[in-house]
């Protein structure tokens, strides 16, 4: 059984099973896409790609390097690799099933990444508010301590 056709034995899955696969398969794709395009571990290669996408001599080189900086763009390529490795098809058992699966996965992946981005932003805002409240309390305590000394 080759990697590319590993999913073919499941080609007659029910629509419910196909949808479960869709939502589960989108998780590692979203994880990989987000990590490469946002997280600190890939900061240096991403900064290199940003420079090359802005300063490349040809349109092709600028667009190629841009793909590694945009989570939406990058998710298409990660999805393509995941389809290659799993052989996952959606609704149809031929090449059209790959196309449908690919665009469906990209859509779900980007919903996951958007939700993750909103959650991270909300956490950052909460941390900033907590830090401001701590600073205000420590300033207020400092004023109170200074008044008791006087």
Sequence-separated (6 or more) residues with CB below 8 Å from residue 70: 37
In a domain, 128, yes or no: no
Cα–chain center distance at 49: 17
In a domain, 67, yes or no: yes
What is the Cα–Cα distance from 142 to 136, expressed in whole angstroms?
A: 10
pTM as predicted: 0.72
Residue tagged 């196309």 (tokens):
99
Q: Which of 29, 31, 37 is nearest to 67 (CA)?
A: 37
Q: Range of 57's domain?
A: 8-116
Are the beta carbons of 58 and 64 closer than 8 angstroms?
no
For the chain, give the mean pLDDT: 86
What is the Cα–Cα distance from 136 to 133, expressed in whole angstroms?
A: 5
In a domain, 3, yes or no: no
* Average pLDDT value for residue range 93-118: 94
In a domain, 89, yes or no: yes
In a domain, 143, yes or no: no
71-86 vs 95-149: helix crossing angle, rounded to 10:
130
In a domain, 123, yes or no: no
* Average pLDDT value for residue range 64-84: 93
Query: pLDDT at position 4, please?
Result: 45
In a domain, 147, yes or no: no
How many domains does the chain contain in total?
1
Query: pLDDT at position 118, please?
Result: 87
pLDDT, tens only, 19-69: 999 999 999 999 999 999 988 899 999 999 999 999 999 999 999 999 888
């Amino acid at each position: 059984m080759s990697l590319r056709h590993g999913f073919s034995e499941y080609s007659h899955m029910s629509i419910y099973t196909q949808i479960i696969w869709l939502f589960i398969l989108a998780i590692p794709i979203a994880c990989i896409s987000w990590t490469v395009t946002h997280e600190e571990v890939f900061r240096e290669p991403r900064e290199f790609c940003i420079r090359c996408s802005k300063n490349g001599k040809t349109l092709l080189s600028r667009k190629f390097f841009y793909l590694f900086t945009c989570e939406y763009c990058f998710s298409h390529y990660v999805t393509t690799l995941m389809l290659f490795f799993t052989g996952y098809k959606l609704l149809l058992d031929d090449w059209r099933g790959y196309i449908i699966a690919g665009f469906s996965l990209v859509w779900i992946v980007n919903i996951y990444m958007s939700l993750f981005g909103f959650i991270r932003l909300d956490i950052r805002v909460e941390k900033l508010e907590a830090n401001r409240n701590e600073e205000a309390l420590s300033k207020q305590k400092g004023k109170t301590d200074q008044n008791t000394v006087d």
